[in-house]
Amino acid sequence: MRFFLRVVAPLRVRPIFTLAALAFVEVLAQARPALAQSLQDAPGDVAEAAPENAQEASGNAGDPSIPPASSPHDLEAEVNEEEIERAAEAQAIVEGLHLGPYVAFAFPSLQAGLDARVGGLGFSVNYGYTPRKIRGTKLTLTSFGVTLRTFPFLGAFYTGFAFGQQNLRAEKRGSGTGKAVVEKRENLYMTPHVGLQFHLTSSLYFAQELGLVLFANGKRDGSLARSVAATDATTQGQVVGVAETYGENWMPYVTFWKLGFQF
């Protein structure tokens, strides 16, 4: 206080600031002993609190309603158990023979079949059926084939090759004659593809595929289409165009989802 009076008093400042400064210094002077006392008592309080916490912990040790705290060793053991379970499921998938049905929503045709897997090799027999209407032409695709797959890394990724026969029927009634213009085709197909197969459980799986459908020259029956060509060439051209698109040219192969179950 005396130091403050010696420094501040000679200054020519307004009385209100001088009074505020004196009040602030006075508060500090009164609070200093209490602050010093609290700092001296702090280590003792901490030391007293430690035995109390220890007694509380020892008292709760026998209480069955309070679960014991997990140690780092316990957490590590739980993680190891989960990893062991996942490894066992993955091992069960690649060991032995697994056989079961599946359905697939795919382009160009919907599929259903029987799927088998032994280790890194897969085999399936499938049937495809797709009714659709394209520019007024009724198109029906039916197919029967087999698929070979290999899992090079024994994981989700696989490569496959499908081959079989596709039967096509395109039909549309002529606008002038009212007669049905029909085009039938039987083609061999080959479908190289890649895919990803994820196991939701050890038996249930989900897969997606992407590939290319290649058609080989097959048998064509266009007698009904040609019979009305002279009177309704426009309709005949539309029917033949649809048949060529889905029965002669190559096209993409996409399995949007495939869901299967293997025993």
What domains are defined for the chain?
2-60 (no CATH), 93-261 (2.40.160)
Instruction: Count Cβ atoms within 10 A of the Cβ of residue 122 and give its class: 0-12 exposed, 13-18 middle, 19 or more buried.
Output: buried
Average pLDDT score over residue span 199-208: 90
| pLDDT confidence tier of residue 105, bands split at 50, 70 and 90 | very high
The residues near 242 (Cβ < 8 Å, ≥ 6 apart) are 134, 135, 137, 139, 170, 183
| pLDDT confidence tier of residue 263, bands split at 50, 70 and 90 | confident
Residues 213, 189: contact at Cβ < 8 Å?
yes
pTM of whole model > 0.85?
no
Confidence at residue 172, expressed as pLDDT on a 0 to 100 scale? 87
pLDDT over 70, % of the chain:
57
Confidence at residue 173, expressed as pLDDT on a 0 to 100 scale? 81
Average pLDDT score over residue span 214-235: 63
CA distance 213 to 254: 10
pLDDT over 90, % of the chain:
33
Instruction: Count Cβ atoms within 10 A of the Cβ of residue 142 and give its class: 0-12 exposed, 13-18 middle, 19 or more buried.
Output: middle
List, for residues 125-169, the tens digit of each pLDDT value.
Answer: 999 998 888 888 899 999 999 999 999 988 899 999 999 999 999
Return phi, psi of residue 201, to 5°.
-135, -175
CB atoms within 10 A of CB 140: 15
Which among 141, 163, 154, 259 has a CA at the least distance from the CA of 213?
163
If one compares 164 and 76, the residue with the highest pLDDT of the two is 164
Instruction: Count Cβ atoms within 10 A of the Cβ of residue 30 and give its class: 0-12 exposed, 13-18 middle, 19 or more buried.
Output: exposed
Confidence at residue 95, expressed as pLDDT on a 0 to 100 scale? 65
CA 173 to each of CA 25, 70, 142, 231, 243: distance values in angstroms, whole numbers, following the listed order = 106, 77, 21, 12, 15
List, for residues 9-66, the tens digit of each pLDDT value.
Answer: 444 445 445 545 555 555 555 655 655 565 555 444 444 544 455 455 455 555 555 5
**What is the CA angle 178-180-185, rounded to 5?**
160
Confidence at residue 228, expressed as pLDDT on a 0 to 100 scale? 47
> What is the residue-wise DSSP string for 68-86?
PPPPHHHHHHHHHHHHHHH
Return phi, psi of residue 237, to 5°.
-65, -35
